[in-house]
Structure 1
Amino acid sequence: MDLLENGADDEKYVIFKQDDLFSESFPLMKEIRRQGNLCDVTLKVEDQSFSAHRIVLAATIPYFYAMFTHNMAESRIKEITMKEIEPEALESLINFAYSGQVRIDSSNVQGLMVGASFLQLNKVRNACADFLIERFSPHNVLGIRTFADSLGCIPLVNAADKYIHHYFSKVSLSDEFLNLGFDELIEIIRKDELNVPTEENIFEAAMRWVKFDEEKRAPMLPQVLSKVRLPLLSPQYLADRVATEDLIRTSHQCRDLLDEAKDFHLMPERRGLIQSFRTRARCCDYIIGHIYAVGGLTKNGESVSTVEIYDPITKEWRMGEQMSMLRSRVGVAVTGGKLYAFGGFNGSERLSTVEVYDPKTKKWCQGRTMLCKRSAVGVAALDGHVYVCGGYDGVTSLSTVECYCPKTDTWKTVAPMMKYRSAGGVAPLGGFVYALGGHDGLSIFDSVERYDPAEDVWVKVKPMLNRRCRLGVATLNGKLYACGGYDGNSFLRSVEMYDPNTDTWKLVAPMNVKRSRVALAANMGKLWAIGGYDGESNLSTVEVYDPEANQWTFVASMCAHGGGVGAGVIPIQ
């Protein structure tokens, strides 16, 4: 019988697919190569030779695809000499072409990465880069950065730079640092992003570098010192350490830089004449720490003393030691490795009391009481001081600002803000304290003002794009972010970013949910929006903003809070 008769449709067909064909074929090809069968090319490097199949190399390695398919001379000759790759690396990468696997270890990673870069095996190169990133230390990161730069591996260069910036104090003690070239040293110490407790660390690092080879490097000291921000050093340090350094005393150019720094302190009215990058505070805010959610509210709106801690390693919240007092609308700041909780509302009255948490002892203790009762308060830590701005005392919104010095355990009143601000946002940026939004009991503000501690004065800056009170504010990558809040009509999920270099605001990706009374914290190069109120209920949810992707994603929710928390990040030591 004809199978196509009776109207059978000869256009119908089936496709059979053997899913394991390639996974079975490549091991067989590897075995054929091991036996030396069917090989049609030999790769020679130094005194070693490796046989292979052109078709396999062309199909799996971009370098050989270009060589064998573009009518180059090597596409026809039997033996090809390779000069830009180590024999061990070439053998590993040929085996990778047949198996899709390669072993990366400390002894072969550099040769393998050079070979993968040359052969255009980008995924292998990236795997080598990831291997090196995981093994950064203060003693090897400068060498790895130089190596990455020679290969043009930008992701590894950027990762090394971030590590150097964050751990500069430790990196500057390494042998690699002392052996840097002049241009390499300058490129590092000029960076805004260096994370140091004080400018003293950078001055001492620069002097160690010069004195390591004093005869050759002493003439370079004026250029090196010009990248150290001497005006940011204390008058005592300038007098007792910098001015007594022989290499500085014997150099006219160095003494001029020292005089500039002294004038900055002695004649503040002339600071406008000597404004330069040397008078600008460094702005590293990349930290890796535990996030503390302090005080706040239950889902029913009652004040709590509860503290939760987010661990970035386990990516989970856990309970911490609770405070001695109930505190919602509390101000939180971290300075000197300790976390401070300022004021707040205990359910019946506004507070002037302060509590201090020491992560080493895992205990809270009573701090020096503020001069005023304050809830819905904004706080910012800057240069070893904490500025507590505005808030609500139970009767009226406040414009007053007080400054706490942990070293002397004292409070003092500084210049008041230009506006009465309750439920505003406060954050440090570039040596200034910024106060954003809030309300005075009648109006909700879009206005922003900036405090200069050196001049003890507030000045207006560009207002936000939206009116906001009960907003979250934080600093990240030298930019200021204002997040969520309430505009008088709506609960907000919008987020805007301020760039002080251009004095402009722009909208970035909005959060996934509306959040007023949201706490915002910068950690691990991202922003963490914690809790809040969406107009219907208090929130325990948390979402994270990635500035590179311009995207918010949810992470683990808090366990015991219903929003309204204060938040601070204590760096992991």
Structure 2
Amino acid sequence: MADDFEDDIEHFSVNDHPVRGFAVMEEIRRQGKLCDVTLKVGEYKYSAHRVVLAASIPYFHAMFTTDMAECKQDEIVMKDTDPGAIEALINFAYNGRLAIDRHNVQALLVGASFLQLQNVKDACCHYLKERLHPKNVLGVRTFAETMMCAGLCKAASSFLHQHFVEVSTGEEFLALPPDELIELLSRDELNVQTEEQVFEAGLYWVCHDHSLRVPLLADVLSCVRLPLCHPHFLADRVQQNELVKSCHRCRDLVDEAKDYHLVPDDRPALAAYKTRQRCCTSLAGLIFAVGGLNSAGDSITMVEVYSPLTNRWQACRPMSTPRSRVGVAVLHGRLYAIGGYDGKERLASTEVYDPEADTWMPTTCMNSKRSAMGTAVLDGKIYVCGGFDGISSLSSVEYYDPKTKRWEMATPMSANRSAAGVTVFEGRIYVTGGHDGLQIFNTVEYYNPHTESWHSVAIMQQRRCRHSAAALRGRLYVVGGYTGSAFLSTAEAYDTCSDKWTRLACMAVRRSRVALVGCSGWLFALGGYDGLANLSSVECYQPETNTWRPAAKMAWHEGGVGAGCLPFLTM
């Protein structure tokens, strides 16, 4: 009979056996039985089982399974650790549960780091990330740097940039050491409406400790981009300040800023960073897909909005006019839809969306009809570059000033460019590629607003039109497009220091007539045309890893959209 069952094996298992076993060991420890080691933390002592600690905590695994001196000791002294945190982490070793709150999170993170409990350390970092506030962000950032928590440090820095104005009124800001304050005020990423806010923040810090900090005023003031301040503010607020008046270096900085406004010909000699607009590239916001095409290929009025936080699209108030190949710009918390093609003709009309009122309103028409033009916002004005007027590609450039509600002509580009990539990068307007109706370009030029002139830089690695461009974290990106024979999934980035373009990871899908927008430190490529069909799909690019991943598809659009990002702070 035994021979009949020789190869007949039945496997039996109890899935919750490890959990039940640890629960029993926890109860045994609570009764004080079979414990073979005591951890002494200050005046406190905690009994435990070596095997449980070694199985659950890497620090003790290394200690108890090697020839360390503590391996056979009955009592182990743990220095420079918090008793409450160590007790909580010992309990965690038995039951896998931990209660994190504002009182214990830092001690737990320190203890978890010491014990090499990476999952607990990550949980504490997540807790702090979710509770960042203008009143605590500087302290959290410093703590994260001390504990070498790169993700938390990055999140705190991003929050600090986004909420700089609120942070600058708090106690932590006033307590910043001089070198950290100067480093902060120098950052391009500060989210400020005007440079005047940076001046007020620096002056507030100096005045908080008058006797010690007044000698540092010139160093602080040199971080403020005074040429970007309004002339009236320079004359009435900065120049008349008693501390500024009493400092020779400060007066020189004010004079330099005044000359910037009074003597435009001398502007090129000024250090570039002093006139570079701040740009909070990590600012979280909502991405708007404007106009474009439906499944039948018709121009539409539809607008939909995407939240990177929820990875969802939802319908928004539609425009009054159908527009595909439309220019989109964001200025002063409003979204502008400019020109485009309505299915019959090219448009000069413009309308603006107010998110607070949830309404679209018409505004002044451009001087020229344009579709497939590039848009950019610089120095409080909206620029449109090139495009197609229904007859030919254009080299003309015009800008809209919301204060005067007028479109004015600017210096034209060196070439006629339709379907080019246009964006603001390092205080200048860059125009990449495009076509003139006969040839497709790989050339690149930028507009210097101070000299009102165009200048060439290194050519792209690939000719492309119907692509899109965006700036993010110190680099200029172009993605997708069309070469005249091929639809592109390629991407490349430009660096001004090297004056070179670098090939990046390709998108998963070929996309011409793609829209590219930066949000939350990522680039989002929306829609386009792959050579066979218009696209509703979306991909997002992470610069740190040079990788693309899919995002939620647009619900109502299929290619040809314009895109813009409205920060959450303006919604």
TM category (shorter chain) comes to: over 0.9
Q: Give 1:187's aligned residue.
A: 183
TM-score normalised to structure 2 length? 0.96
CA distance, structure 1, for counterparts of residue 9 and residue 317 of structure 2: 70
2:497 to 473, 498, 501: 501
Q: CA RMSD in A?
A: 1.9
1:547 aligns with 2:543: yes
Partner of 1:75: 71
Mapped contact 1:84–1:118 kept (Cα < 8 A)? no
In 1, Cα distance between the equivalents of 2:193 and 2:539? 30
Instruction: State the partner residue of 2:125.
Output: 129
**Cα distance, 1:97 vs structure 2:** 1.1
The within-5 A match list for 1:16-55 is 18-55=14-51
- The change in CA–CA distance for 1:276 and 1:331 in structure 2 (over 3 A counts) is closer
Decide whether aligned partners of structure 1 residues 314 and 120 sit closer, same or farther in structure 2, where only a CA change above 3 A counts: closer
Aligned AA (2:83)? P
Give how far 1:16 is off: 6.0
Q: Secondary structure at the match of 1:386?
A: strand
Aligned to 1:291: 287
CA distance in 1, matches of 2:49, 2:264: 75
| Paired position in structure 2 for 1:282 | 278
In 1, are the aligned partners of 2:268 and 2:451 still within 8 Å (CA)?
no
Alpha-carbon distance, 1:13 to partner: 8.0
Tell me which moved more, 322-331 or 282-291: 282-291
Q: TM-score, normalised by structure 1?
A: 0.95
1:102 aligned partner, one-letter code: L
Q: Deviations over 1:220-245 (max 9, x none)?
A: 11121122222222322221211111
Question: 2: distance between equivalents of 1:259 and 1:455?
Answer: 20
Contact 2:267/2:451 (<8 A) preserved: no
After superposition, what is the alpha-carbon deviation per residue over 1:108-163, rounded to whole angstroms, capped at 9, x for unaligned? 11111111112121221111011000000001111111222222222222211111
Q: Does 1:173 align with 2:144?
A: no
Q: 1:262 aligns with which of 232, 255, 258?
A: 258
Q: What is aligned with 2:360? A: 364
Q: CA deviation at 1:466?
A: 0.9
Shift of 1:20: 3.4
**Deviation of the 1:551 alpha carbon:** 2.1
Q: What SS is found at the alignment partner of 1:334?
A: strand
Q: Distance in 1 between matches of 2:46 and 2:332?
A: 60
CA contact (8 A) 1:426 1:436 kept: yes
Count of aligned positions: 569
Q: Structure 1 residue 243 and structure 2 residue 239: aligned?
A: yes
Q: 2:314 aligns with which of 298, 311, 318?
A: 318
- How far is 1:75 from its partner? 2.3
Instruction: Please state whether the residue corresponding to 2:395 is helix, strand or coil.
Output: strand
Distance 1:184 1:357 in 2: 39
Q: 1:93 Cα shift? A: 0.3
Pick aligned residue for 1:566 from 558, 562, 568? 562
The aligned runs of 1:360-509 (5 Å cut-off) are 360-509=356-505
* C-alpha contact (below 8 Å) 1:84/1:115 kept by paired residues: no
Query: Structure 1 counterpart of 2:42, which letter?
Result: E
**1:72-93 deviations in whole A, cap 9, x for unaligned?**
3322322222221111111100
One-letter amino acid of the counterpart of residue 233, structure 1: C
Alignment gaps of 5+ in structure 1: none
SS in 2 for 1:301: coil
Q: Which residue of structure 1 lines up, in the alignment, with residue 106 of structure 2? A: 110
Q: Does structure 2 conserve the Cα–Cα contact (< 8 Å) formed by 1:189 and 1:202?
A: yes
Instruction: Say whether 1:164 aligns with 2:160.
Output: yes
Deviation, structure 1 residue 70: 3.6
Shift of 1:379: 0.5
- For structure 2, the 5+ residue unaligned runs are none
Cα separation, 2, equivalents of 1:375 and 1:274 = 36
**CA-CA distance at 1:449 after TM superposition:** 0.6
Q: Could you report, residue by residue, the CA deviation over 1:454-485 in whole angstroms, capped at 9, with x for unpaired residues?
A: 11011001111111111121122122111111
Q: Secondary structure at the match of 2:19?
A: helix
Alignment pair present for 1:202 and 2:198: yes
- The residue aligned with 1:531 is 527
**Alignment-mate amino acid for residue 526 of structure 2:** I
- Give the deviation of 1:172 after TM superposition: 0.7
Deviations 1:183-218 (A, max 9, x none): 221221122221212211111100000111112211
Q: CA deviation at 1:299?
A: 2.0
Structure 2 partner of 1:66: 62
Q: Distance in 2 between matches of 1:33 and 1:414?
A: 79
Per the alignment, in what secondary structure is the counterpart of residue 114 of structure 1?
helix
After TM superposition, the structure 1 stretch with the greater mean CA deviation from structure 2, 87-96 or 19-28, is: 19-28
**Contact persistence 1:284–1:478 (CA under 8 A):** no
User: Structure 1 residues 276 and 401 mapped into 2: Cα distance closer, same or farther (>3 Å)?
Assistant: closer
1:138 aligns to 2:134 (yes or no)? yes
> Distance between the aligned counterparts of 1:428 and 1:39, measured in 2?
66
Partner amino acid for 2:85?
A: A
Once residues 15 and 334 of structure 1 are traced to their aligned partners in structure 2, the CA distance between those partners, rounded to angstroms, is: 65
Q: What's the CA shift string for 1:364-393, capped at 9, x where partnerless? A: 111111111111111011221110110111
Are the aligned partners of 1:531 and 1:565 in contact in 2 as well (CA < 8 Å)? yes
The alignment partner of 1:333 has SS state of: strand
Letter in 1 for 2:543: P
Give the fraction of aligned pairs with identical amino acids, expressed as a percent: 53
Counterpart secondary structure, 1:545:
strand
| Matching residue's letter, 2:449 | P
